[in-house]
Structure 1
Amino acid sequence: MEIKTRFAPSPTGYLHVGGARTALYSWLYARHNNGKFVLRIEDTDRERSTQPAIDAIIESMKWTGLNWDEGPYYQTKRFDRYNQVIDELLEKGLAYKCYCSKERLDEVREEQQRQGIKPRYDGHCRDEDPSKHSPDEPYCIRFKNPTSGKVGFDDQIRGHIEFDNAELDDLVIRRTDGTPTYNFCVVIDDWDMGITHVIRGEDHINNTPRQINIYKALGAPVPVFAHVSMILGDDGTKLSKRHGAVSVMQYRDDGYLPEALMNYLVRLGWGHGNQEIFSIEEMINYFALENVSKSASAFSTDKLKWMNQHYIKTLPAERVAEELVWQMDNLGIDYSKGPKLADVVNAQKERCKTLKEMAENSVYFYQEYTDYEPKAAKKWFKENSAEALERSLEKLKNLPEWKLEPIEEAFKSVATDMDVGLGKVGMPLRLAITGLGVSPEMGITMELVGRERCIARIEKTIKYLKEKAASQTNA
């Protein structure tokens, strides 16, 4: 049997971390078993489903590397198929027309609540003769759920789960406007698409017995189910925006690598020994549903940030640079005129936790800064700073090659000649070259900024310091 899983989001909003983890687990299970992974867009809720949400879901799947083998399928394009099966169920007496008005259903529900009974449809039209009603009278179609016995399944994460059929009402499978409903469409889709394993959030557990009864009525194979626990905030409450429950693409925007996000999400409820860092190949090799926890997991932005920094430091610089491109474009930086982005990654990777931070701290490699960082300028621009820069400039201009080692030797020799600490030369130089008080090592920084830019910026800073000194003297 070929293993086949699916990820089936509803496009009523963007893809969040909970959905991304579910997609990842489904994808990994298929890949581990040399099976297939299907992407299906469950857009039956026409009022709330939007094209921007669909686009964002697909973009998120592509960015995270969760490539699908089939799809994306859209439920709204399969209505003829659903209605065909519904008509067959009607003919076989496994479904029926329900003419109950909204007002009647509300009254029944209110009475059940007064009596302390679980609200559900009372079966009023279940055995009624449809000929009693006029052809133009509105009706929906309900599935005839078994009224006795139990329906159960062996959840691959939670063990055996069982429900009394008497607790389940007759599910609406086609609305009065003629559109089929979610719980029915899911069954037909999984049947038609040959889905063998359904991995989804625990909020779907109550849907599962209803869907199993429909599978059985159709004579369709029932897939294996695995319901994943929810993700909580690190304070134990429901995950929200303040915990980091933002759309997956927001993590791209905030400077996270997809490798880091996927590694972090796979560990939210699954593990392999004490290992923390997993390559995609290792995830595929080790993943097993029996190792997925039943307990809720806590989302920690700090842990994700730590993992992101690990990947920035350890992935090939060329790979990190591919993701850095988006950040540079977002800042409007023309990175074609300056050092290679991979070289910037190598220079900055030890000091940046996100690519957004890396991009913001690398602007000076490609364009001129406008001001010196005030706090650093106050601390490091002293009386002899202009002299230190002038001496450095003289030595730097005469360098035969613009490389890290000769650059460092040049300004270190200035500190020796002036009999001052290296910081009194290096820090004014750093401010002159970058405008900032913090940067990678000066030799690396200056090599990447380039000879012409460095010389021009040092000359500009010398002029600034002399004009400042003159104005203070005249005052």
Structure 2
Amino acid sequence: MLRFAPSPTGDMHIGNLRVAILNFIVAKQRNERFIIRIEDTDRERNIEGKDKEILAILDRFGITYDDVVYQSKNLSFHQNFAYKLLDEGKAFACFCTAEELEQERQKAKEEKRPYRYSGKCENITLQEASQRGEPFVVRIKKPDERLCFEDKIKGDLCFDPFEVDSFVILRADGRATYNFACAIDDMLYDITLVIRGEDHLSNTPKQIHVRKLLGYDKEIAYAHLPIILNEAGKKMSKREKASSVKWLLDEGFLPQAIANYLILLGNKTPKEVFTLDEAIEWFDLADISKSPAKFDIEKLRFINRAHLKALPKEELAKLLNVDEKYADLAKLYLEEASTLKELKEKIDRVLQCDRDFGEFEEEAFILKNIILDIDIPEDFDAFKKILMERSGLKGKKFFKPLRLLLTGAPSGPEMQDIYNAMKNSIKEVVSCSS
């Protein structure tokens, strides 16, 4: 089984979506179950409704799943396993106060060394802890040897006991910490492969350590995806607009194009533009680069334009909320627009009745009356000839007002192409222009 485990603490980041997409693809390839595990144990940071928003986004991207589970529902399992480790002497009760720990951290900082727990409470027995009658956290005992595993992207990795440390697994209020809850839940749901971002790399040995101490002997494979960099070459922050999936969708990027781009990012693919179903046929984790990938909004625009061009007319018209007869015109504007938002602005300008003709108001009025009075021919040259003969206009005084009359804009695609795309609706457009 594979899982995508988001926290309902903010907008979905493109890095998280990338993780969800790749887990979905590999689950399909391996014919394994795929679940969404909402990691909601951090009550202070949870935002009401974000879990539903995450699921709605996954639905928009066509990412199907077998079940949705909430980590908080497994609290009793987390506590029972923590006390099992306590009982077996593999974990210990820690009574160190926040002030004491902060002093240790400051000392480590002054001595320019990484902070690690001092081991002060490591020899307190469970019986002694119970007799004290004071609240305590539960810490796991650090490993005695290096922890090694093979990462499907990064290769063989090893971590010293110092890097794992005696970390807290159960808070004083009885809630599990992230690493402990994650390790237990991966056991409970029989997870076989964890695909996640490399920001979780330091968590992996801790989670392996938990399972080893609990005697869990099933192997869980790992693949840690390199981080996504911004255009400046730094880690893409959640504060950057383009990092938000919601922002990209609101800007008019299609879900299928965003998915295409995220699969393409730092990956060797047989082609640049493809669907999710196509990616399932050939995707291989081994093709993903070990190096960070730079997010390029212009490349995403290129991919998005290709997907917009490939949309059936009725679907494009529905997305733009216009009659299907304007779909050909919309496709024409894809030479200069690359998102739904930009495309809708172009089409809305064509369809709006209010026109600014500037110095060509008189010429536009003449042409409008002629257009409404004639039978619209199939050929643009014939249309142009009729208008010129009846209006006596030519050159700039003919083409400028005609373009403004038909499109509402002073520039754009070739007039012949515009005519071919909208000749069946020209009278409708022109009749309301003023």
For residues 367 and 391 of structure 1, what CA distance do their matches in structure 2 show? 20
Range moving further from structure 2, 256-265 or 162-171: 162-171
Q: Is the partner of 2:243 in helix, strand or coil?
A: coil
Q: Is the partner of 2:100 in helix, strand or coil?
A: helix
Cα distance change on mapping 1:205 and 1:364 into 2, 3 Å: closer
Q: Given the alignment of the two structures, is residue 76 of structure 1 paired with residue 72 of structure 2, yes or no?
A: yes
For residue 48 of structure 1, report the CA deviation from its aligned partner: 0.8
The answer as to whether partners of 2:24 and 2:63 remain within 8 angstroms in 1 is yes
For residues 113 and 319 of structure 1, what CA distance do their matches in structure 2 show? 59
Q: Given the alignment of the two structures, is residue 391 of structure 1 paired with residue 391 of structure 2, yes or no?
A: no
Instruction: Select 2:337's aligned residue among 352, 361, 371.
Output: 352
Paired position in structure 1 for 2:356? 372
Q: Given the alignment of the two structures, is residue 454 of structure 1 paired with residue 430 of structure 2, yes or no?
A: yes
The answer as to whether partners of 1:270 and 1:291 remain within 8 angstroms in 2 is yes
Paired position in structure 2 for 1:64? 61
The answer as to whether partners of 1:173 and 1:181 remain within 8 angstroms in 2 is yes
Q: How does 1:131-210 map to 2 (within 5 A)?
A: 131-132=127-128, 134-146=131-143, 148-210=144-206
Q: Is the partner of 2:115 in helix, strand or coil?
A: coil
For residue 433 of structure 1, report the CA deviation from its aligned partner: 4.2
For residues 82 and 280 of structure 1, what CA distance do their matches in structure 2 show? 36
Q: Given the alignment of the two structures, is residue 414 of structure 1 paired with residue 403 of structure 2, yes or no?
A: no
Q: Is the partner of 1:96 in helix, strand or coil?
A: strand
Cα distance change on mapping 1:416 and 1:368 into 2, 3 Å: closer
* 2:161 partner amino acid: N
Q: Given the alignment of the two structures, is residue 37 of structure 1 paired with residue 21 of structure 2, yes or no?
A: no
Range moving further from structure 2, 435-444 or 278-287: 435-444
Cα distance change on mapping 1:318 and 1:219 into 2, 3 Å: farther
For residues 310 and 336 of structure 2, what CA distance do their matches in structure 1 show? 13
Q: Is the partner of 1:405 in helix, strand or coil?
A: coil
Q: Which runs of 5+ in 2 are unaligned?
A: none
* 1:363 partner amino acid: D
Q: Is the partner of 1:97 in helix, strand or coil?
A: strand
Paired position in structure 1 for 2:17? 20
For residue 90 of structure 1, report the CA deviation from its aligned partner: 2.2
The answer as to whether partners of 2:330 and 2:347 remain within 8 angstroms in 1 is no
Identity of aligned residues (%): 35
* 1:120 partner amino acid: R
Cα distance change on mapping 1:166 and 1:412 into 2, 3 Å: same
* 1:352 partner amino acid: A
Instruction: Select 2:404's aligned residue among 406, 416, 431.
Output: 431
* 1:290 partner amino acid: A
For residue 226 of structure 1, report the CA deviation from its aligned partner: 0.8
For residues 266 and 28 of structure 2, what CA distance do their matches in structure 1 show? 19
Cα distance change on mapping 1:92 and 1:433 into 2, 3 Å: same
Instruction: Select 1:363's aligned residue among 327, 348, 352.
Output: 348
The answer as to whether partners of 1:389 and 1:425 remain within 8 angstroms in 2 is no
For residues 100 and 215 of structure 2, what CA distance do their matches in structure 1 show? 34
Q: Given the alignment of the two structures, is residue 249 of structure 1 paired with residue 246 of structure 2, yes or no?
A: yes
Paired position in structure 2 for 1:289? 285
For residue 382 of structure 1, report the CA deviation from its aligned partner: 7.0
* 1:311 partner amino acid: H
The answer as to whether partners of 2:196 and 2:224 remain within 8 angstroms in 1 is yes
Paired position in structure 2 for 1:465? none
For residue 103 of structure 1, report the CA deviation from its aligned partner: 2.2
Deviations, residues 78-97 of structure 1 (Å, cap 9, x unaligned): 21221122222222222221
Larger CA Rg, structure 1 vs 2: 1
Q: Given the alignment of the two structures, is residue 238 of structure 1 paired with residue 240 of structure 2, yes or no?
A: no
For residues 141 and 183 of structure 2, what CA distance do their matches in structure 1 show? 15
Q: Given the alignment of the two structures, is residue 225 of structure 1 paired with residue 222 of structure 2, yes or no?
A: yes
The answer as to whether partners of 1:7 and 1:39 remain within 8 angstroms in 2 is yes
For residues 114 and 419 of structure 1, what CA distance do their matches in structure 2 show? 87
Cα distance change on mapping 1:408 and 1:257 into 2, 3 Å: farther
Instruction: Select 1:108's aligned residue among 100, 104, 110.
Output: 104
Paired position in structure 1 for 2:261? 264
For residue 118 of structure 1, report the CA deviation from its aligned partner: 2.8
Instruction: Select 1:311's aligned residue among 301, 307, 310.
Output: 307
Q: How many residues matched?
A: 429
For residues 311 and 339 of structure 1, what CA distance do their matches in structure 2 show? 18
Deviations, residues 186-236 of structure 1 (Å, cap 9, x unaligned): 011111111111111111111111111111112222310111111111221
For residues 256 and 12 of structure 2, what CA distance do their matches in structure 1 show? 17
For residues 241 and 141 of structure 1, what CA distance do their matches in structure 2 show? 32
Paired position in structure 2 for 1:99? 95
Range moving further from structure 2, 359-368 or 203-212: 359-368
Deviations, residues 314-355 of structure 1 (Å, cap 9, x unaligned): 232333344434xxxxxxxxx5xx555645544544442111
For residue 265 of structure 1, report the CA deviation from its aligned partner: 0.9
Cα distance change on mapping 1:93 and 1:303 into 2, 3 Å: same
Q: Which runs of 5+ in 1 are unaligned?
A: 326-334, 461-475
For residue 426 of structure 1, report the CA deviation from its aligned partner: 4.8
Cα distance change on mapping 1:102 and 1:451 into 2, 3 Å: same
Paired position in structure 2 for 1:469? none
The answer as to whether partners of 1:82 and 1:180 remain within 8 angstroms in 2 is yes
* 1:372 partner amino acid: D
For residues 322 and 88 of structure 1, what CA distance do their matches in structure 2 show? 58
**RMSD of the alignment, in Å?**
2.7
